[in-house]
Structure 1
Amino acid sequence: MGYIQELRKLIGTRPIIMVGVAVIVKNEKDQVLLQKRTDSGDWGTIGGALELGESLEEAAARELYEEAGLAASSFQFVTVLSGEAFYYKYPHGDEVYNVVAVYEAAGIAGTPRINDDEGLELKYFSLNDPIANLNPMGRMILTRAGYLK
């Protein structure tokens, strides 16, 4: 059981500040890898919350493997996103104010595959075309990090 799940047992669904990462994976066509989420059924970026004692880069590597079955030789820091706009209420009721460190993964090894129960599908999308059913948090991350216009 992870840190956030343990915390939720104590405080329920009340809003918390959650520090996490979003990992941007691009292919040779400059398309970005997105995950169709189990909880909401829409597309979002790869990423998640830090565990106790974990660095942002360690969280990026862990989330990339957990959610997409991939490894990266390095992670390039892009930006940190936070504030009122990063409030999110999960479909099951948990509320968070996200602080998201965005990293771009380089030197990708492996073939994208669903590797946990958080995703239904993985797919590369062009950033030059509208992405149908992109969740609001994923859209905000990609826009504010400079990937979408």
Structure 2
Amino acid sequence: MSDYVKALRQQLGTMPLILVGSTVIVLNDEKQILLQLRSDIKMWGLPGGAMEPGESLEDTARRELFEETGLHTSQLRFVTMLSGQQDYYQYPNGDEVYGVTAVFLAEQIDGQLATVDGESLQLAYFSLDALPSNTVKKAIDSINTYLLKENITDRMKGRDLVEPF
């Protein structure tokens, strides 16, 4: 949790916050998708997080990608914006958030996979038709939107979308 969000939480407690942020879809050469096993909820998700004051959505995506995976990208492509009920989450400690999240595809990646900031317990690439059963809904929504926009169906063995869990 950023210092900014911590300061808000000290003032507002667990009440719903509207947070702006970014998440990043990373594909390897085999077209597998990078997921992180999150330390806070013990579920798989995409790298990403909340915007810091003064950042752009792209800055946020690049910073979060590095902090959570050790990877850098110089080129991001906008995929979609998530908001409303599809981007609501209640954390185990009771904190509630409604996100406004920009989803980006990282088109060029540099660096070595590493858990830099402690937010990732594990990093792994998964086939689109074999995502872990404990993948967060927001990640599934982001991946499905990317697949629809790219019209990627041949990699999914006849399924139109990744099955939500």
Fold equivalence (TM over 0.5) = yes
How far is 1:4 from its partner? Answer: 1.1
Q: Paired residue for 1:33?
A: 34
Q: Deviations over 1:5-33 (max 9, x none)?
A: 11111101100111111101110000110
Q: How many pairs were matched up?
A: 149
What TM-score do you get using the length of structure 2 for normalisation? 0.85
Distance 2:30 2:93 in 1: 36
Q: Which has the larger radius of gyration?
A: 2
Flag structure 1 segments of 5+ consecutive residues without an equivalent. Answer: none
Q: Report whether the alignment pairs 1:50 with 2:62.
A: no
Distance 1:86 1:41 in 2: 18
Q: Paired residue for 2:71?
A: 70
For the Cα contact (< 8 Å) 2:79–2:145, is it kept in 1?
no
Distance 2:16 2:49 in 1: 16
Kindly provide the amino acid, as one letter, of the partner of residue 120 in structure 1. L
Flag structure 2 segments of 5+ consecutive residues without an equivalent. Answer: 149-159
Q: Paired residue for 2:133?
A: 132
Kindly provide the amino acid, as one letter, of the partner of residue 9 in structure 1. Q
Q: Paired residue for 1:89?
A: 90
- The structure whose RCO (Cα within 8 Å, separation 6+) is larger is 1
Q: Paired residue for 2:10?
A: 9
Q: Deviations over 1:79-112 (max 9, x none)?
A: 1111122110011211001111000112211111
Indicate the RMSD between aligned Cα atoms, in angstroms.
Answer: 1.5
Kindly provide the amino acid, as one letter, of the partner of residue 125 in structure 1. F
Q: Structure 1's 91 and 145: CA in aligned 2 closer, same or farther, altered over 3 A? A: farther
Q: Structure 1's 59 and 113: CA in aligned 2 closer, same or farther, altered over 3 A? A: same
Q: Percent identity?
A: 46
User: In terms of mean alpha carbon deviation, does 49-58 or 121-130 score higher?
Assistant: 121-130
Q: Deviations over 1:58-84 (max 9, x none)?
A: 001100110000101211111111112
Kindly provide the amino acid, as one letter, of the partner of residue 94 in structure 1. D
Distance 2:15 2:48 in 1: 22
